[in-house]
Homo-oligomer: A and B are copies of this chain.
Amino acid sequence: MFKVGILGATGMVGQKFVQLLSRHPWFKVTTLMASERRIGKIYGEEVDWIVSSDVPKDVFDVEMTPMDPKNCDADIVFSALPSNVAREVEPRFAREGFVVASNASAFRMEDDVPLVIPEVNPDHLSLIDVQRVRRGWDGFIVTNPNCTAIMLTISLKPLMDIGLRSVRVATMQALSGAGYPGVPSLAIIDNIIPFIRGEEEKVEVEPLKILGKLENDRVVPADIDISASCHRVPVIDGHLEAVWVKFDRKVEIEDAVEAFKSLKPLDLPTSPESVIVVRSEIDRPQPRFDRDEGDGMSVVVGRIKKVGDNEIRYLVLGHNTVRGAAGASILNAELMIKEGYIQK
């Protein structure tokens, strides 16, 4: 078992880390790190636990500690920090030799930081060596993409070989993506909020890096053009995205279906049986019924339609705090172990 610490353990994504890791075959949570005012407090008493009925028993009594590498007894540190805090805290851990698997956006777009979805661009992990050399760190930071970008990019990956050129995506995003307390109920019941700060920019940029090619120790971004319109809807978990994709050649629905189904799962504990599940019903995927597919790690695609000779549209859905956040970081850590980037 690898010992793991969690940075930002009381927030929505932090809770999801705690939940997923409490039953993980390779990882054992040893350290829960939180902000100043929570240090010394008992996790189970302090946290506003919102992701299930009860705080897992094995971490309930853990006393929260400062975000300080010196006190952190762990092989890997998972980060659920807000971006501005992550920018300061994560390097401290990497410098002191920790592997930081981060869900924060702070370092995602840095040249020497891998932005990885294991089934999509595992080879980008080789940036780790570049990073350690350039920064002189004993450890390193590896990041996963924004929740909305993850679902989208997983669905775009198999389309790259068909000659993908441009993407238009309108999202209907779940409330848990805004953290806790997050969106006030008065703002969202019988309503939609058609704006999520910083989200469209991330969805338009991150996939280009993930789908890019590694050349001479850096990533050359994919040559596609993405435009995103992001909206918050009254749904607890599960981001749904309506996607139009254009290609540089003629495309048929069957080509896309075949491509989607061809994306192979990895032999890792958190990897789902099917990376992309393609549903053929006229009214799926739906957040409440499909977000838990593959224990929340599968992405579900449906309603694939032909728009023009070179264009199709489809829907893609994924569990935003599992495949889109905590589960993404954990899968990255599993991949790094398998690839030998982490030793005990």
- Which chain A residues have a beta carbon within 8 Å of chain B's beta carbons? 12, 50, 52-53, 168, 170, 172, 175-176, 180-195, 225, 227, 229, 231, 233-236, 240, 242, 244, 282-290, 292-293, 302-303, 307-308, 311, 313, 315
In the complex where A184-B185, A187-B185 touch, is A233 in contact with B236 (Cβ < 8 A)?
no
A193: chain B residues within 8 A (beta carbon): 283, 286
Give Cα A191 to B12, complex, Å.
Answer: 18
Contact check, A184 vs B186: say whether CB atoms are below 8 A apart: no
A289 contacts B191, C-beta separation under 8 Å: yes
Report whether A181 and B186 are in contact in the complex, using a CB–CB cutoff of 8 Å. yes
Chain B residue with the shortest CB-CB distance to A166: B308
Whether A227 pairs with B307 at a CB distance below 8 angstroms is: yes
A244 and B311 CA atoms in complex are apart in Å by: 15
Instruction: Please tell me which one of the listed residues B181, B184, B242, B284 contacts residue A231 in the complex, with CB atoms under 8 A apart.
Output: B242
Q: Is there an interface contact between A185 and B234, defined as CB atoms closer than 8 Å?
A: yes
Which single residue of chain B is at the shortest CB-CB distance from A184? B181
Bound-state CA distance A5–B341 (Å) is 56
- Which residue in B192, B244, B284, B288 is a CB contact (below 8 Å) of A172? B192
A292: chain B residues within 8 A (beta carbon):
53
Q: Which of B181, B195, B225 contacts A303 (CB 8 A)?
A: B195
Task: Give the contacting residue for A182; candidates B185, B234, B244, B307; CB below 8 A.
Answer: B185
Contacts of A235 in B (CB 8 A): 190-192, 234
Return chain B residues, CB-CB under 8 Å to A188: 185
Picked from B53, B225, B315, the residue with its CB within 8 Å of the CB of A194 is B315
Known: A190-B288, A235-B191. A168 touches B244 (CB 8 A): yes
A51 to B168, CA, bound (A): 33
Q: Report whether B285 and A194 are in contact in the complex, using a CB–CB cutoff of 8 Å.
A: yes
B288 touches A195 (CB 8 A): no
Docked Cα-Cα span, A50 to B193, in Å, equals: 13
- Identify the interface centre among A235, A240, A292: most chain B CB within 10 Å of its CB: A235
Taking a contact as CB atoms under 8 Å apart, the answer to whether B231 and A195 are in contact is no
Q: How far is the CA of A186 from the CA of B307 in the complex (A)?
A: 32
Q: Are A192 and B240 in contact (CB under 8 A)?
A: yes
| A236, B190: Cβ atoms closer than 8 Å | yes
A172 touches B233 (CB 8 A): yes
Q: A189-B234, A191-B235 are in contact. List 8 more A-B contacts (CB 8 A).
A: A50-B187, A170-B170, A175-B186, A182-B185, A185-B234, A194-B315, A227-B307, A227-B313
Q: Is the CB of B191 within 8 A of A286?
A: yes
Give the 10 A-B residue pairs with the shortest CB-CB distance, closest first: A170-B170, A181-B184, A195-B283, A191-B288, A229-B242, A170-B242, A185-B185, A227-B307, A183-B185, A53-B289
User: Contacts of A52 on B, CB cut-off 8 Å?
Assistant: 289
Instruction: Give the residue of B53, B229, B282 whose beta carbon is less than 8 angstroms from that of A315.
Output: B229
Cα–Cα, bound, A190→B172 (Å): 12
